[in-house]
Amino acid sequence: MKKISYSILSAIILLNLLLVSSLFIINSYAAAEEIDAEFGDPPKIDGDIDDSVNEWKNANKIHINLTDLPIDLWVMQDDSELFISVQVDLEFSAHNSTEFIALLISNSSSENQEDFIDAKIVQFSDIQTNKFVYLDYEINNSLFLNDTYSHGEGAGKLDGKVSVYEFSIPIKQPLADGYEEDAFLEYEKSYALNITYGKTPSYPDGIIKSEIVLIYIFEPSVPEPLYFDVILIVLVLVVFSIVGVLSGYYIYKIFKLKEKMERLRS
């Protein structure tokens, strides 16, 4: 009897271990969060979110963690650019003078490290005085190489305890004038972005926290041709105009006929 009880207890412990292990496996291979780039009016890329003009009002706004660093991530697009804002809320003293946010961009939805080929970086040189530079790099075998031509925009600003980073990234740009060094973003596709945070201007060595997200870029909606509607409206106007003219004519004829009949009676 004791042997049976021991066997049952052992089986329960083994089952629990298998369940816990499977949970760890599921968590360790969790898929990246997917975010839709909502359409909106292009914001001014200056590191300053202007609430008076409702900048970023149409953005898809989510809260995620870069490892253990919580950030607010805002994503938006228009016909030609993808806009991303990253906001890091720390105690003032916790902000490093030379901190940065980098967007490492894959040319597809692949999350493999070797598929991140493009980097857009806003790097502070002195965060207390809001001095920063925007950098555009090609990533080749983990080496960050300065692009021949810099594309897109980036800006940063420390607003109280929050460091605000803003980026604009071209969509469907021609593969010319250095664009071959960038990730080529197309409509109706998802792209993996590795959002990274660091404290020293060294890439990739200065990166200390990161998280991968998938961003889906929509194709701009094309208004349907209005020819049919215009033709229909014109036809309705013509028909009603003809009916109106004929009605007026027949009313006139009726009055004339009435006058004639009254003269005959008299």
Mean per-residue pLDDT over the chain, rounded: 84
Q: Which helix (H) or strand (E) holds 138?
A: strand 131-140
- Stated pTM of the model: 0.73
Residue-wise pLDDT tens digits, 109-157: 999 999 999 999 999 999 999 999 999 999 999 999 999 999 999 999 9
Residue-wise pLDDT tens digits, 73-110: 999 999 999 999 999 999 867 899 999 999 999 999 99
At residue 26, the 3 state secondary structure works out as helix
12-21, 61-70, 227-236 — which is least confidently predicted?
Answer: 12-21
CA dist., res. 65 & res. 142, Å (int): 23
- The encoded tokens of residue 41 equal 């009016």
Strand 143-146 and strand 153-159: pairing?
unpaired
pLDDT level of residue 29 (50, 70, 90 thresholds)? very low
- Name the residue with higher pLDDT: 190 or 24: 190
Count CA atoms closer than 13 A to 68's CA, side-chain side: 0
DSSP one-letter string for 216-231 = EEPPPPPPPP-HHHHH
127-136, 152-161, 174-183, 197-206 — which is least confidently predicted?
Answer: 174-183
